[in-house]
């Protein structure tokens, strides 16, 4: 692509909201683009690639800070990938903890559902568990 993209076309090409693109520029994740004679932002291939990287990392659950770190590492391609492995391992470990927490939560919900299925709403432990304590 040698054609310059407007912010709307960049948004469409990456599935990113225009406001999010502006935010990424504001916090320094995405470099500020050149401006046209009419003062419109004009994006190049490098912006498209970088924003696609950001989107993919965010879709995988990486935090803004982790994305920033990964992008900094990606910009220094001659370095060892140990630092990238550290970020990825930390993220994977956090995902595994969340999965364990969600599995435990599913078990608790299963128990509540089983205890409620043959009673009336007045006896339903799900309603009781969700109600604020007095």
CATH number of the domain residue 23 falls in: 1.10.1660.10
Identify whether the C-beta of residue 20 lies closer than 8 Å to the C-beta of residue 9.
no
pTM recorded for the entire structure: 0.77
User: Is residue 85 one of the residues assigned to a domain?
Assistant: no
- Predicted pLDDT at 2: 65
User: Is residue 86 one of the residues assigned to a domain?
Assistant: no
- Predicted pLDDT at 116: 76
Q: What does residue 22 show for φ and ψ, rounded to 5 degrees?
A: -60, -40
Q: Which domain range does residue 126 map to?
A: 91-134
Q: What separation, in Å, do the N-terminal and C-terminal C-alpha atoms of the chain show?
A: 63
Considering the domain architecture, whether residues 75 and 99 belong to the same structural domain is answered as: no
The whole-angstrom separation of Cα 35 and Cα 26 is: 15
- Predicted pLDDT at 120: 75
- Predicted pLDDT at 88: 95
Task: Domain count for the chain, please give it.
Answer: 2
Considering the domain architecture, whether residues 54 and 100 belong to the same structural domain is answered as: no
- Predicted pLDDT at 112: 82
pLDDT by 10-residue block (mean), the chain, 134 residues: 86 97 96 90 95 96 95 88 94 97 93 77 74 74
Considering the domain architecture, whether residues 62 and 11 belong to the same structural domain is answered as: yes
Considering the domain architecture, whether residues 17 and 47 belong to the same structural domain is answered as: yes
């Amino acid at each position: 692509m040698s054609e310059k993209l407007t912010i709307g076309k960049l948004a469409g090409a990456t599935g990113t909201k225009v406001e999010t693109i502006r935010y990424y520029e504001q916090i320094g994740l995405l470099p500020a683009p050149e401006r046209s004679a009419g003062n419109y932002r004009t994006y190049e291939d490098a912006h498209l690639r970088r924003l696609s990287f950001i989107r993919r990392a965010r879709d995988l659950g990486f935090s803004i800070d982790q994305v920033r770190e990964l992008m900094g590492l990606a910009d220094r391609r001659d370095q060892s990938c140990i630092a990238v492995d550290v970020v990825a391992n930390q993220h994977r470990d956090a995902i595994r903890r969340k999965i364990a927490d969600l599995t435990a939560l599913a078990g608790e919900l299963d128990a509540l559902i089983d205890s409620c299925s043959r009673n009336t709403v007045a006896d339903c432990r799900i309603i009781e568990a969700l109600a604020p304590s007095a």
